[in-house]
Amino acid sequence: MIPEAANLLVTYNWMMVAYFLVINVSFTLLAIIGWRQVKEYVRRRPLRDYKQVSRSPLSMPVTILVPCYNEAPVIADSLRSLLRSNFAQFEVMVINDGSSDGTMDELRREFALTRIERIPRASIETKPVVDCYASGTDAGLVVIDKVNGGKADALNVGLRYAAFPLVCAMDADTMLDPAALSRLVWEFESSPETVAAGGIVRIVNGSRVENGRLVSVKTPKSLLANLQIMEYLRAFLGGRIAWSRLGMLLIISGAFGIFRRDALVEVGGWDPTTVGEDAELVLRLHRVRSDRGQTCRIVFFPDPICWTEAPESLKTLVRQRDRWQRGLMEMLIRHRSMLFRRKYGRVGTLAVPYFAVFEAFGPILEVTGYLVFLVSLALGVVSWPLALAFLGLSLSFGLVISFATLLMEERAFQRYPSWGDLGKLVSVAVIENFGYRQLMALARSRAIWTMWRGRGTHTWGDMDRAGFGSVEAPATQPVEAELARPEI
Amino acid sequence: MRLIDVLLLLVGGTFVVWLLMTLMVVSSKAGRDRRERVSKERRGRYRDALEAASSAQLEPILRELFRNEGAQVDMLAALDAVPRSGRTIQALREADRIQQLSEALEYQSCGEEPVPRGISALLLARMGLNRCTQVAEGLLRDEDPDVRLAACSALAKIGTNAAARSLIQSLRDGTMPAERLIERLGAPWANDEVLLALGESDDPHLRTALVRALGLAPDRRALDMLVNLSAHGEDEERISAVRTLGSTGPADKVVPVLCSALTDENPAVRAQAARAIGALSDPSSPTWLERSVVAAERLRGCLGDENWWVRANAATALRSLGMAGKQQLIDALDDPDEFSRDRARESLALLNARATAG
């Protein structure tokens, strides 16, 4: 073998060792910070009168934006569940993005819609609005019918017409915990400098849902959905809480986040030209507000919960990850000028570089790392004992991080109450290291490749919705939970 | 030491950590299940003792609460679940005379950790023990925002004139978001002090806040002051006064005032006046029919207001004025003003849709 090639392989392997060390040290630090934060948050709960927030007529009112495209099978159930939120002042605004499956007819039939005049309160460029409707059955429901333009465009229409100072962006196929709104609104009320707040997204598959309400939480039968439960827990409890504590939160899930309306209008709302409009918006908020010398408090909380359906088919899951990865890449490319700029504080000097290296290019480094490692082994550049030891180390670190998150969940929230569920999660935390993580890294690398080749769309895409139904959450049909994004 | 040895050492170390974590996960689950059982049993016991209002039963319970955060949180939950009665408070005070828990909680309220400080205020207030007002009042100026809000909540539970005075003072000091104080002051027990402060204050911000509190707990003693403020106050005062008048009533006194507020120069006042007329709707009042006809005529004029908020609120108010409102909406279908026609058409359609939906 040519010595230069061998040297190159050795160098690359050492680079991967360095990458491995840095990423695992970061994960460990994030888990420690997250744990301390969760502990404090849980301990403070008796001091916080969330019930008062939910019933007080002086609480900040919220416009819940529900953009929808071809959601006829699920839209009525989702809205009924939302309209039952135990929060004093809110309106639900459905923005029909030119659906072609009869979503508007379904809405008209179920909610006795009547055309009304609604004056936009902000000027943001969007596709034309066809009509605004009020409901004859629910005073708190407004429907806006518009020309198709994608999810971000639909959200922007909602932002233009929203009447209240806070807007909650959520997906049409997600379900809010009854206390979720009051817990997040509390944060805006107690800290007026808060611009955006996100809650945890949990997977509903397997749990029991009756009339749009979660009755009991259980892990699903599907291995793929269980793997995603563990993945979400790690991302939210092990990552986002710590980023939020450090003032460097870059993502608020499109599935559930509350924003100060005026702050969104100031930055021009969601960007309809990107796949990951949720993450892009948060980074833009950081950037624009820093540029203007305004404070930008963006926070995440671990128990205002939004329940979403996770895909149970590999094809849909891969497609979902493809979108997330492209969204992340687009966000970082657009805001690359924030990289290492002290002007943007910790976000520019730490968070953006971290996301660029470990989240955007991490999958490629990981996949090429595996390949080079195998080649090195085959060519004898790396010895078998060394290779096995390194693999063992990689596996054990992965297990430690996953179990740290599981520990956090068990100590603080214990949303899965039975021993059987815990057993499943423990098994999944081990199993995910053998194939699933590698597969996800491959899917994300493919997304980077697709993007590099200039492919990909910014539309809603086809989504088969099964709805929450009335008994057990759906498991049979693939569902693309497009934006319930954990950073992986 | 060779690289492989270092790696093996690290692998061994992390596997041991992982095994420990697995044990911790399992023991956490078991521990939490046990803690939940203990907590459930404790809450039940506390609730029984509170319901029995027996100082003999409460004495050992109060002893348990000394420096025990878990027990204190359970006691708060039990106090929430049991209706507050004079007998219970009396029994708690008798038990406290022997156990001196109030002193311990007062000491706890000066501690370094915020959570026990906040809990001490809540517990003292809900148990109605000695010096609860002073402790909560002191904590209204705490450095921790959660503790300040807990103190605010505690004072609302105490519900005395002294507590109301403390909350009003906090409004003056601006130590926490005004809405949190207003919503606590918006209760009948606070009205005496709110009215007193409203009469004495020359600060328009404070007056606005106090009027908003009265809007949550309407009190007809405030009528004259509200009428005066709705005509002569500053913008914010007029807006709040007009809105509060809507919930205060009575219709025969308030409708003329609100109708004149419909011509205020500030569109926000006009919009709130329209909304307030809608909120007044009271078909059981003997003079209501006459008043509603007058109000509906004036509201119809607002359907063509230059401000969309006024137009929208006027249409909503007409929808809630019964027959008088509906008749005006029907008449407005022929109005020369396009805005009026549109609002009338829309409101009638909504009325029909709601009638059809039942």
Residues A117-142: tens digit of each pLDDT: 788 888 899 999 999 999 988 888 99
Q: Tell me, what CATH number does B309's domain have?
A: 1.25.10.10
A135 contacts in B (CB within 8 Å)? 353
- B16 lies in some domain: no
Least confident span in A81-90, A222-231, B70-79, B135-144:
A81-90
Distance from CA of B304 to the nearest CA of A (A): 13
* 3 state SS of B37: helix
pLDDT of residue A459: 53
Instruction: Tell me whether residues A136 and B357 touch, CB distance under 8 A.
Output: yes
- Compare CB distances from A114 to B29, B183, B350 and report the shortest one's residue: B350
A189 contacts in B (CB within 8 Å)? 177, 179-180
Q: Is the pLDDT of residue A463 over 50?
A: no
pLDDT, tens digit (0-9, with 9 covering 90-100), for A208-232: 888 777 889 999 999 999 999 999 9
Instruction: Tell me whether residues B353 and A114 touch, CB distance under 8 A.
Output: yes
Instruction: Tell me whether residues A136 and B308 touch, CB distance under 8 A.
Output: no
How large is the average pLDDT for residues A284-291?
A: 95
B147 contacts in A (CB within 8 Å)? 47
CA A170, A173, A174, A175 torsion-angle sign:
positive
Structure tokens at A356: 């660029």
Residue with tokens 């009168």: A49
Instruction: Tell me whether residues B212 and A58 touch, CB distance under 8 A.
Output: yes
How large is the average pLDDT for residues A186-199?
A: 91
pLDDT band for A477, please (50, 70, 90 cuts): very low
CA A206, A209, A212, A213 torsion-angle sign:
negative
Q: Is the pLDDT of residue A457 over 60?
A: no
- B204 lies in some domain: no
HEC-encoded secondary structure of A220-252: CCCHHHHHHHHHHHHHHHHHHHHHHHCCCCCCC
pLDDT of residue B87: 92
Q: Which of B158, B185, B212 is the last residue of a domain?
A: B158
Q: Is the pLDDT of residue A460 over 70?
A: no
What is the domain extent for residue B316? 249-358
Residue with tokens 């030891």: A389
Instruction: Tell me whether residues A400 and B212 touch, CB distance under 8 A.
Output: no
Q: Residue A350 half-sphere exposure, CB side, CA atoms within 13 Å?
A: 9
Alpha-carbon gap, residue A459 to A457, rounded angstroms: 6
* Closest Cα in chain A to B153: A49
Q: Which of B158, B188, B215 is the last residue of a domain?
A: B158
Distance from CA of B37 to the nearest CA of A (A): 13
- B116 lies in some domain: yes
Q: Which of B141, B158, B175 is the last residue of a domain?
A: B158
Instruction: Tell me whether residues B118 and A47 touch, CB distance under 8 A.
Output: yes
* 3 state SS of B271: helix
Q: Is the pLDDT of residue A54 over 60?
A: yes
Structure tokens at B206: 């404070």
How large is the average pLDDT for residues B240-260?
A: 89
pLDDT of residue B283: 61
More confident residue, A372 or A482: A372
HEC-encoded secondary structure of chain A: CCHHHHHHHHHHHHHHHHHHHHHHHHHHHHHHHHHHHHHHHHHHHHHCCHHHHHHCCCCCCEEEEEEECCCCCCHHHHHHHHHCCCCCCEEEEEEEECCCCCHHHHHHHHHCEEEECCCCCCCCCCCCEEEEEEECCCCCEEEEEECCCCHHHHHHHHHHHCCCCEEEEECCCCEECCCHHHHHHHHHHHCCCEEEEEEEEEECCCCEEECCEEEECCCCCCHHHHHHHHHHHHHHHHHHHHHHHCCCCCCCCCCEEEEEHHHHHHHCCCCCCCCCHHHHHHHHHHHHHHHCCCCCEEEEEEEEEEEECCCCCHHHHHHHHHHHHHHHHHHHHHCHHHCCCHHHHHHHHHHHHHHHHHHHCHHHHHHHHHHHHHHHHHHCCCCHHHHHHHHHHHHHHHHHHHHHHHHHHHHHHCCCCCHHHHHHHHHHHHHCCCCHHHHHHHHHHHHHHHHHCCCCCCCCCCCCCCCCCCCECCCCCCCCCCCCCCCC
Structure tokens at A91: 């309106």
pLDDT, tens digit (0-9, with 9 covering 90-100), for A233-269: 999 988 899 999 999 999 999 889 999 999 999 999 9
How large is the average pLDDT for residues A335-350?
A: 93
Strand partners for A170: A256
* Closest Cα in chain B to A44: B115
A385 contacts in B (CB within 8 Å)? 4
Please provide the size of chain A in residues. 488
Instruction: Tell me whether residues B22 and A403 touch, CB distance under 8 A.
Output: yes
Total count of domains within chain B? 2
Rounded percentage of chain A residues whose pLDDT exceeds 90: 51
A392 contacts in B (CB within 8 Å)? 7, 11, 15
Average pLDDT, chain A: 87
* Closest Cα in chain A to B15: A396
Instruction: Tell me whether residues A56 and B212 touch, CB distance under 8 A.
Output: no
Name which of B18, B22, B27 to mutate to probe chain A: the one with the most chain A Cβ atoms within 10 A of its Cβ. Answer: B18
- Read off φ and ψ for residue A18, nearest 5 degrees: -65, -45
B76 contacts in A (CB within 8 Å)? 46
Predicted-complex ipTM score: 0.82
Alpha-carbon gap, residue B168 to B210, rounded angstroms: 8
pLDDT of residue B247: 87
Average pLDDT, chain B: 90
Report domain extents, chain A: 1-47+193-488
Element (H, E) at B264: none
How large is the average pLDDT for residues A350-360?
A: 93
- Compare CB distances from A136 to B145, B150, B353 and report the shortest one's residue: B353
A21 contacts in B (CB within 8 Å)? none
Name which of B2, B6, B11, B313 to mutate to probe chain A: the one with the most chain A Cβ atoms within 10 A of its Cβ. Answer: B11
A389 contacts in B (CB within 8 Å)? 4, 7-8, 11
Instruction: Tell me whether residues A393 and B7 touch, CB distance under 8 A.
Output: yes
pTM for the model:
0.87
pLDDT of residue B344: 84
- B358 lies in some domain: yes
